[in-house]
Amino acid sequence: MNSQWSQIVKEIKEIYKNKDFVPLHEPTFSETDIEYVTDCIRSGWVSSVGKYVDDFEKKLAEYTGVKRVVAVVNGTAALHIALKVAGVQANDEVFMPALTFVATANAATYLQAIPHFVDVSEETLGLDPVKLENYIQEIGEMRNGQLVNKKTNRVIRAVVPMHTFGHPVDLDPLIELCSKYHLILVEDAAESLGSFYKGKHTGGFGVASALSFNGNKIMTTGGGGAILTNNEKLADYAKHITTTAKVPHRWEYVHDEAGYNYRMPNINAALGCAQLEKLDSFIASKRQLTNRYKKLFEQVESLKVFSEPIFAKSNFWLQTLIIERKKYNRDEILEMLNNNGIMARPIWKPLDQLVSYADCPKSDLTTTNKINNIIINLPSSPPIGGTSS
């Protein structure tokens, strides 16, 4: 390890108070979290109902600007139900980026739909609307008001953009494309709580969308997720089927369809309420961290820290280092950082390269494959002492 990289390792360790091991992203807790969770325990209502679930849904709706929020057990469940209530059916194809966490494809597969992988943009790291429209013109045709894949004769029902590492996708052209081709827009906003596209919070553009509150997200409920929508009827249906499709009654157990036990427990929602109060401070801290990384790497030839698109305000969930030229090898950097107690990770393996999705339809993925080899995620927790209690 040369002197320049020794200095980089030293400065990253200093950001995190010289901890022996710096994780990629860990949750930040304070006395408020303990207070709310303790109150929930003392109430006796720790499971699927309680005041904190209602409060969390209401406060999250206010923060994101959507009409309704349905809190659920995790982000994958949220996306599964968002796709279902939006109208995705068995044997439909669903456009999504090949460069995303596997949950995006899994959620469609749970509905027996078929993931259809498309390329991403270097500007956003998310779905590229220009490439998508060119690809639709190549493989699709309108039949009876539906977009059909000429190669498979299956209906292409929906588009699922994913806001990679919290950086919003360019949504306006995607919305136009969906209108033109009668496609349903469902946002995978799992990583973008606190991110805004042209002043509007992500997750509020599609028919429905999904958030995640896993332990490694910008705020956490331990495990948890949420469905966002501006459609009251869809919200009511999502709430119904995620609570086992039980018909309300004082004592009878009547279920009117095969529902899902996807309810967020009250104790998780209590933690979520406390974390949500600190979300703005988390985001401010992460923006400061981004600036520190930019200064750290601006003197290193061929490396740069990824910046938010010009039309967006990102939560900078995961700090992203871009290798611009072949001077550096991604895996060599990853090995060096991890060997020195700094947890760094590559981006996800493109989904078309996974055995379970290798046979799915896909467009040309030139940019996806390029980005896969040049991205490193750096430690991204809010710096110690960088948030308010």
Sorted by where each begins, the domain ranges of the chain are 3-27+279-378, 31-277
The span from the CA of 290 to the CA of 282, in Å, is: 12
The span from the CA of 166 to the CA of 244, in Å, is: 31
pLDDT score at 342: 97
pLDDT score at 386: 46
pLDDT score at 387: 39
CA distances from residue 96 to 161, 176, 244, 331, 386 in whole angstroms, order as listed: 6, 16, 28, 27, 35
In the chain (389 residues long), the average pLDDT of successive 10-residue segments reads 88 93 96 98 92 98 98 98 98 98 98 98 98 98 98 98 98 98 98 98 98 97 97 98 95 96 98 98 96 94 94 98 89 96 97 98 98 96 58
pLDDT score at 49: 84
The span from the CA of 332 to the CA of 340, in Å, is: 12
pLDDT score at 389: 34
Q: What is the pTM of this model?
A: 0.95
Half-sphere exposure of 205 (CA within 13 A, CB side): 28
Question: Looking at the domain 31-277, which fold is it?
Answer: Aspartate Aminotransferase; domain 2 (3.40.640)
The span from the CA of 183 to the CA of 149, in Å, is: 13
pLDDT score at 21: 95
Our CA dihedral for 312, 313, 318, 324, rounded to 10 degrees, sits at 50
CA distances from residue 315 to 194, 306, 380 in whole angstroms, order as listed: 5, 13, 11
Superfamily of domain 3-27+279-378: Aspartate Aminotransferase, domain 1 (3.90.1150.10)
pLDDT score at 388: 37
